[in-house]
Amino acid sequence: MKKYLIIALLLYTVILFSIEPQTFEIHDRSSFRILLTPTTLLPENTYFSSTDILGLTWGKKISNNMSYALFAVPPFALSVGFKYQLYSKNNLHLATGGALWISYEEIDLGEMNGSMFIYSQQIITTYGNRNNAFNLSVGINPYLEDGEKSYLPFNCNIGGFFRIGKHTKIIGETSIIEILKSKDEFRVHDIFIGGFRFFWKRSTLDITVGKYDSEISWEDNIIVPIITYTKHF
Protein backbone atom coordinates (compact mmCIF):
# COMPACT_ATOMS: atom_id res chain seq x y z
CA MET A 1 0.00 0.00 0.00
CA LYS A 2 2.79 2.45 0.92
CA LYS A 3 4.49 2.31 -2.48
CA TYR A 4 1.21 3.10 -4.26
CA LEU A 5 0.61 6.08 -1.98
CA ILE A 6 4.12 7.37 -2.68
CA ILE A 7 3.57 7.09 -6.45
CA ALA A 8 0.21 8.82 -6.11
CA LEU A 9 1.61 11.65 -4.01
CA LEU A 10 4.45 12.24 -6.49
CA LEU A 11 1.95 12.40 -9.36
CA TYR A 12 -0.36 14.75 -7.48
CA THR A 13 2.58 17.01 -6.50
CA VAL A 14 3.50 17.38 -10.18
CA ILE A 15 -0.12 18.22 -10.97
CA LEU A 16 -0.39 20.74 -8.13
CA PHE A 17 2.66 22.70 -9.25
CA SER A 18 1.71 22.53 -12.93
CA ILE A 19 -1.67 24.25 -12.64
CA GLU A 20 -1.77 27.33 -14.81
CA PRO A 21 -4.13 28.74 -17.46
CA GLN A 22 -3.66 26.95 -20.78
CA THR A 23 -5.46 27.35 -24.07
CA PHE A 24 -6.21 24.42 -26.35
CA GLU A 25 -8.59 24.14 -29.28
CA ILE A 26 -9.93 20.84 -27.87
CA HIS A 27 -10.55 20.40 -24.14
CA ASP A 28 -11.40 17.42 -21.93
CA ARG A 29 -15.18 17.28 -21.55
CA SER A 30 -14.88 14.48 -18.95
CA SER A 31 -13.05 16.66 -16.41
CA PHE A 32 -16.13 16.40 -14.15
CA ARG A 33 -14.55 13.16 -12.86
CA ILE A 34 -11.17 11.53 -12.39
CA LEU A 35 -12.25 7.97 -13.10
CA LEU A 36 -14.36 6.58 -10.27
CA THR A 37 -14.49 9.75 -8.18
CA PRO A 38 -16.11 13.06 -9.17
CA THR A 39 -14.42 16.45 -9.29
CA THR A 40 -16.26 19.68 -8.49
CA LEU A 41 -16.42 20.57 -12.19
CA LEU A 42 -19.72 20.04 -13.98
CA PRO A 43 -20.40 18.35 -17.33
CA GLU A 44 -21.05 20.73 -20.19
CA ASN A 45 -24.32 19.09 -21.20
CA THR A 46 -25.39 15.42 -21.52
CA TYR A 47 -23.08 12.41 -21.55
CA PHE A 48 -23.18 8.62 -21.64
CA SER A 49 -20.40 6.40 -20.24
CA SER A 50 -19.69 2.69 -20.39
CA THR A 51 -17.07 1.06 -18.14
CA ASP A 52 -15.98 -2.54 -18.57
CA ILE A 53 -16.31 -3.55 -14.90
CA LEU A 54 -18.62 -0.86 -13.52
CA GLY A 55 -21.57 -0.59 -15.87
CA LEU A 56 -23.36 2.34 -17.51
CA THR A 57 -23.82 6.01 -16.62
CA TRP A 58 -26.14 8.65 -18.04
CA GLY A 59 -25.60 12.21 -16.79
CA LYS A 60 -26.74 15.74 -17.51
CA LYS A 61 -26.06 19.30 -16.40
CA ILE A 62 -29.36 20.84 -15.32
CA SER A 63 -28.22 24.30 -14.15
CA ASN A 64 -25.09 26.41 -13.81
CA ASN A 65 -24.42 24.77 -10.42
CA MET A 66 -25.95 21.30 -10.59
CA SER A 67 -25.83 18.00 -12.48
CA TYR A 68 -27.33 14.56 -11.98
CA ALA A 69 -26.40 11.04 -13.08
CA LEU A 70 -28.08 7.64 -13.35
CA PHE A 71 -25.98 4.49 -12.88
CA ALA A 72 -26.62 0.83 -13.65
CA VAL A 73 -24.25 -1.93 -12.54
CA PRO A 74 -25.69 -5.16 -13.98
CA PRO A 75 -26.77 -7.36 -12.38
CA PHE A 76 -26.27 -5.83 -8.95
CA ALA A 77 -27.49 -2.27 -8.46
CA LEU A 78 -29.11 0.91 -9.69
CA SER A 79 -28.20 4.38 -8.52
CA VAL A 80 -29.16 8.03 -8.90
CA GLY A 81 -26.76 10.78 -7.90
CA PHE A 82 -26.33 14.54 -7.94
CA LYS A 83 -23.57 17.12 -7.66
CA TYR A 84 -24.02 20.75 -6.57
CA GLN A 85 -21.23 23.29 -6.98
CA LEU A 86 -21.04 25.49 -3.88
CA TYR A 87 -18.12 27.75 -4.77
CA SER A 88 -15.98 28.40 -7.85
CA LYS A 89 -13.44 31.17 -8.18
CA ASN A 90 -10.16 31.17 -10.12
CA ASN A 91 -8.64 27.70 -9.53
CA LEU A 92 -10.49 26.81 -6.32
CA HIS A 93 -13.79 24.91 -6.47
CA LEU A 94 -16.02 23.35 -3.81
CA ALA A 95 -19.00 21.04 -4.28
CA THR A 96 -21.15 18.49 -2.52
CA GLY A 97 -22.61 15.34 -4.02
CA GLY A 98 -24.72 12.38 -3.10
CA ALA A 99 -25.86 9.06 -4.56
CA LEU A 100 -28.43 6.45 -3.55
CA TRP A 101 -27.57 2.85 -4.49
CA ILE A 102 -30.24 0.16 -4.42
CA SER A 103 -29.34 -3.49 -4.86
CA TYR A 104 -31.94 -5.42 -6.85
CA GLU A 105 -30.37 -8.85 -6.45
CA GLU A 106 -29.58 -10.73 -3.28
CA ILE A 107 -26.08 -9.89 -2.04
CA ASP A 108 -24.02 -12.53 -0.30
CA LEU A 109 -21.06 -11.10 1.62
CA GLY A 110 -20.31 -13.49 4.43
CA GLU A 111 -23.06 -13.00 6.99
CA MET A 112 -24.84 -10.37 4.89
CA ASN A 113 -27.70 -11.58 2.75
CA GLY A 114 -30.57 -9.73 1.16
CA SER A 115 -31.30 -6.36 -0.43
CA MET A 116 -29.39 -3.27 0.59
CA PHE A 117 -29.69 0.53 0.37
CA ILE A 118 -26.49 2.59 0.35
CA TYR A 119 -26.41 6.39 0.39
CA SER A 120 -23.11 8.19 -0.27
CA GLN A 121 -22.63 11.84 0.65
CA GLN A 122 -19.41 13.67 -0.17
CA ILE A 123 -17.70 17.02 0.13
CA ILE A 124 -15.41 17.62 -2.85
CA THR A 125 -12.73 20.22 -3.43
CA THR A 126 -10.78 20.73 -6.65
CA TYR A 127 -7.80 22.98 -7.19
CA GLY A 128 -7.05 23.61 -10.84
CA ASN A 129 -8.82 23.72 -14.18
CA ARG A 130 -10.00 21.38 -16.94
CA ASN A 131 -6.41 20.74 -18.02
CA ASN A 132 -4.58 20.13 -14.73
CA ALA A 133 -6.24 19.62 -11.36
CA PHE A 134 -5.83 18.16 -7.88
CA ASN A 135 -8.94 16.66 -6.30
CA LEU A 136 -9.87 15.68 -2.74
CA SER A 137 -13.17 14.27 -1.49
CA VAL A 138 -14.32 12.82 1.82
CA GLY A 139 -17.65 11.28 2.65
CA ILE A 140 -19.79 8.73 4.41
CA ASN A 141 -21.70 5.76 3.00
CA PRO A 142 -24.60 4.78 5.26
CA TYR A 143 -25.91 1.23 4.69
CA LEU A 144 -29.42 0.02 5.38
CA GLU A 145 -29.75 -3.76 5.11
CA ASP A 146 -33.28 -5.15 4.64
CA GLY A 147 -34.60 -2.08 6.45
CA GLU A 148 -33.39 -3.45 9.78
CA LYS A 149 -29.86 -2.34 10.57
CA SER A 150 -27.76 0.67 9.51
CA TYR A 151 -24.00 1.19 9.19
CA LEU A 152 -21.85 4.30 8.71
CA PRO A 153 -18.53 3.65 6.93
CA PHE A 154 -16.35 6.43 5.47
CA ASN A 155 -14.41 7.09 2.28
CA CYS A 156 -11.53 9.39 1.33
CA ASN A 157 -10.39 9.97 -2.27
CA ILE A 158 -7.34 11.81 -3.61
CA GLY A 159 -6.79 12.21 -7.33
CA GLY A 160 -5.85 14.41 -10.22
CA PHE A 161 -5.12 14.75 -13.90
CA PHE A 162 -2.31 16.34 -15.87
CA ARG A 163 -2.49 17.27 -19.54
CA ILE A 164 0.53 16.08 -21.52
CA GLY A 165 -0.66 16.66 -25.08
CA LYS A 166 -3.36 17.95 -27.39
CA HIS A 167 -5.55 14.89 -26.83
CA THR A 168 -3.93 13.20 -23.82
CA LYS A 169 -3.90 13.35 -20.03
CA ILE A 170 -2.37 11.31 -17.23
CA ILE A 171 -5.04 10.49 -14.63
CA GLY A 172 -4.74 8.89 -11.22
CA GLU A 173 -6.66 8.44 -7.98
CA THR A 174 -6.27 6.75 -4.62
CA SER A 175 -9.30 5.79 -2.53
CA ILE A 176 -9.57 4.49 1.01
CA ILE A 177 -13.02 3.06 1.72
CA GLU A 178 -14.48 1.16 4.64
CA ILE A 179 -16.12 -2.06 3.45
CA LEU A 180 -18.77 -3.88 5.45
CA LYS A 181 -17.42 -7.42 5.77
CA SER A 182 -20.16 -8.78 8.02
CA LYS A 183 -23.00 -7.48 10.14
CA ASP A 184 -20.67 -6.11 12.81
CA GLU A 185 -17.28 -5.85 11.16
CA PHE A 186 -15.64 -3.34 8.80
CA ARG A 187 -12.43 -3.63 6.81
CA VAL A 188 -10.49 -0.87 5.06
CA HIS A 189 -10.44 -1.27 1.29
CA ASP A 190 -7.84 0.68 -0.69
CA ILE A 191 -7.88 1.34 -4.44
CA PHE A 192 -5.21 2.82 -6.68
CA ILE A 193 -6.00 3.61 -10.33
CA GLY A 194 -3.66 5.14 -12.88
CA GLY A 195 -3.51 5.50 -16.63
CA PHE A 196 -4.25 7.73 -19.60
CA ARG A 197 -7.22 9.68 -20.92
CA PHE A 198 -7.61 10.33 -24.63
CA PHE A 199 -10.19 12.92 -25.61
CA TRP A 200 -11.65 14.42 -28.72
CA LYS A 201 -14.41 16.90 -29.45
CA ARG A 202 -17.33 14.57 -28.61
CA SER A 203 -15.79 11.52 -26.94
CA THR A 204 -13.36 10.39 -24.25
CA LEU A 205 -11.50 7.11 -23.74
CA ASP A 206 -9.86 6.22 -20.40
CA ILE A 207 -7.39 3.33 -20.40
CA THR A 208 -6.25 2.59 -16.86
CA VAL A 209 -5.15 -0.15 -14.50
CA GLY A 210 -6.68 -0.52 -11.04
CA LYS A 211 -5.10 -2.19 -8.04
CA TYR A 212 -7.13 -2.91 -4.95
CA ASP A 213 -6.68 -4.75 -1.70
CA SER A 214 -10.02 -6.18 -0.60
CA GLU A 215 -10.66 -7.94 2.68
CA ILE A 216 -13.81 -9.54 1.25
CA SER A 217 -12.20 -11.10 -1.82
CA TRP A 218 -10.35 -14.33 -2.33
CA GLU A 219 -7.10 -12.49 -2.99
CA ASP A 220 -5.34 -9.76 -1.05
CA ASN A 221 -4.25 -7.79 -4.12
CA ILE A 222 -6.10 -7.70 -7.41
CA ILE A 223 -5.00 -5.79 -10.53
CA VAL A 224 -7.54 -5.24 -13.29
CA PRO A 225 -7.73 -3.12 -16.47
CA ILE A 226 -10.44 -0.45 -16.36
CA ILE A 227 -11.55 0.99 -19.70
CA THR A 228 -14.19 3.71 -19.92
CA TYR A 229 -15.68 5.24 -23.05
CA THR A 230 -17.73 8.45 -22.77
CA LYS A 231 -19.86 10.04 -25.46
CA HIS A 232 -20.79 13.72 -25.10
CA PHE A 233 -23.89 15.22 -26.66
Residue 35 has pLDDT above 60, yes or no: yes
Q: What is the pTM (predicted TM-score) of this model?
A: 0.81
pLDDT at 216: 47
pLDDT at 15: 60
Q: Considering only CA atoms, which of 87, 86, 57, 88 is closest in space to residue 73?
A: 57
Domain range annotation of the chain:
2-232
Using only C-alpha atoms, the chain has a radius of gyration, in whole angstroms, of 17
**Check whether domain 2-232 has CATH 2.40.160.40, yes or no:** yes
In total, the chain counts a number of residues equal to 233
91-131 tens-digit pLDDT: 899 999 998 877 755 544 444 445 566 778 899 999 988 99
157-213 tens-digit pLDDT: 889 998 888 899 999 998 887 655 555 555 667 788 889 999 999 999 999 998 876
Residue 218 has pLDDT above 90, yes or no: no
**Percent of the chain surpassing pLDDT 90:** 36
pLDDT at 84: 97
Residue 85 has pLDDT above 50, yes or no: yes
pLDDT at 68: 95
Percentage helix, strand, coil, to 5, in the chain? Answer: 5, 60, 30
